Structure 1
Amino acid sequence: MSVQDLGISVDTVWMLLAAMLVFFMQPGFALCEAGFTRSKNTANILFKNFVDFMIGSVLFWFVGFGFMFGSDGAGFIGMPNFGDLSFYTNAAGLPTEGFLMFETVFCATSATIVSGAMAERTKFSMYCVYSFFISLIIYPVEGHWTWGGGWLCNSEAGSFMMNTFGAAFHDFAGSAIVHSVGGVLALVGAICLGPRLGKYRNGKSTAIPGHNLMAAALGVFILWFGWFGFNPGSQLAASGEVNRVAISHVFLTTNLAAVCGGLGTMFTSWIKYGKPSFSLTLNGILAGLVAITAGCDLVSPLGSAIIGLLAGIILVFSIEFIDTKLHIDDPVGASSVHGVCGIFGTLMTGLFALDGGAFYGGGFGFFGAQCFGILCIDLWAAVTGIILFWGIKKIAGLRVDKRIEEEGLDIYEHGESCYN
């Protein structure tokens, strides 16, 4: 075995280990969403987190991988691969099957984010339908523009991004590509679906507490743990000095953003409401993680702490604004955590990047590229989300009947209850 071959083997093991960690974020999302909602819908919520991974895995293997990575990044969308992986060769020599698995768990994450904002009132059958289209079209297309080698991330001389901004769009692990897309779709879905019964009375928001903060807390711990695969794993290599330094740096920036996000939310809620909110702080940790995901490889440890802190502060005001001013019912705060903070983190990369960031003498070209990239990606998510959710609403109905919502989706949708 040559040294080069050994290096590729080490990189493959690291990639697959990271894929396992990102897959383990699925139970994190499930517990977090279940804990923040009512007990009568718990089985439904847990079931949905299995379903989106099952549907997403089959679709991404069969056609989504080709849509995202086919055509060498050219055009609006790649070509469907129909289960054939021979079209793709990894430049670093990583096995295609392993790389497919790594990309599959990211696709599933984008789909599962939407579930939380639409919890407690969505037909299970229609959840399966919109998960199908997110995994089939919405995620692979914008993924093709970016990680698939497409025009947004094309840094070759003479490319559109280089001619326009002097820099290509950068999203290391998915603040925009995964999280903001999930957050925007979550917001559109929640608007289309309407609020839960009893949420808004006489124009005022009424709190509907979740049934189990312990489950939510465990879910956030699992998500935090999984993020150490999500971000450092996106290096896709561990062998050699460059890679071991890079993944160590990303580990540090990821963790600093998480803790500072939690602290920012804790103290903001303490000052604003007179008491530190545990449930908000849990979301603040996630806000910091989402925000740092785009630039975790480019920013300094101090920069990551600042980005995380600001994301945690912004989160408190975003959740309140969406709930009390816009009257959009998002039971778990997914649109704020993933949408608002995903956009914020993507933009901050253009300011805080050590190489090319505006705060480090790089001018505003890179920041402009980040602004343009996030606009294109989230405009795509918003337009396709409107077509998808309003189409389902008009054709088959998106929401369960009033009696089912009042008595719980577990019994009526599945004939079983989580707690007996």
Structure 2
Amino acid sequence: MLKAIILVGGPMKGTRFRPLSLELPKPLFPVAGFPIIYHHIEACSQVPGLREILVIGFYQPNEALNRFISQSQQEFQIQIRYLQEYTALGTAGGIYHFRDQILTGSPEMFFVMNADVCGDFPLCEMVQFHKDKCPDASGIILGTEATRQQSQNYGCIVENKDTHEILHYVEKPETFVSPLINCGIYLFTPEIFSTLEVTFKKNLEDNYNYCDQNCHIPGFDFQTPSKEVIRLEQDIFIPLANTKQLFVFPTTRFWSQIKSAGAAVYANRHYLTIYQRTHPERLAKNGEGQPRIIGDVFIHPTASVHPTAVLGPNVTIGRNVTVGEGVRVRETIVLEGATLQAHCCILHSIVGWHSTVGVWTRVEGTPNDPNPNKPFAKLEIPCMFSSDGRLNPSITVIGSNVQVPSEVIILNSIVLPHKDLNGCYKNQIIL
């Protein structure tokens, strides 16, 4: 029996995803027509013997989250539960905190998946790799190759090329270590809890010594640092490296992180490409009385799209969206309830929930994408902001309930929710 854990973080995480995460928890943001973690759950449901999925985070349970879990349970016929942390416990603190729930039923192994990654997850292959190549290992990390420059933004892995044992692990090194990076997808055996327990007890001891040395300071907070915060990357992987307990499963399949809105558009493109193989029925097709479709396009059945519209490539049209006459949409996500009025043009953008784009208006972003048509190209997803806080040229994001007037241009801009625009904007954040 296997289980899966999806780490979703909480409301103080994903700030780079604003304004989209202001309306909805980031893990529920729809990419290629479905919430980000829906793709995780779907991949888990295809693993033989996987009986339960635990979603761990410190979001307050809300209607959207509860409804999503209920619907996913019904669709995939698999038990899914949400376990709420009392505070942010780190990437491994929640796993240790809820260890009794995870170990209930004596699972042979369990997956741990970060919610802010997307990809063509080779979960079954990871299980087979463990059984065939390293049956005594405590953990396996999914890894992929990045460029030298990209690798320094991730956990870097030095492996034994023959056995795939991890010899050295460094989290976000200052200098180049290895092009093989951590994908944030793991397979563990219950033995990993022995290492977690050692780390937890060390944290307890360090916390006691810290408090003992500083408790005389007026206003001292006895909860700092938190004794339950455990980081998988720094606290677990680094000491496990070169002990024959930690291995890497390299993949060449599509993988990316979703840190910013620009990354969501990139993930949307590749999930649509994956649909060609896994769910061709989800992709729109050309036909009489239908809009013209170029490349991969997802249109929700409840959406209304005028037959003169041209959509694609790499477009997602959400629930109850209205697309008017002569509209052109490319490399874009249009969210639930939005209206695209006649002859508007939307390129490299995200149009928020229940927003309206006026007649003959152009909404456009300028993504840093050298190979837009190359499947699964290795690409550095640009951040929404540069290191000095300035807006980077990227996709345009229209927040929820925004009214964009007719015959204007919105270029490389971010529009916060509930705004009525009255002109053209370029490279601006509209508060």
Q: Which has the higher helix share?
A: 1
Which structure: larger Rg?
A: 2
Q: Which has the higher contact order (CA 8 A, sep 6+)?
A: 1
Q: Which has the higher strand share?
A: 2
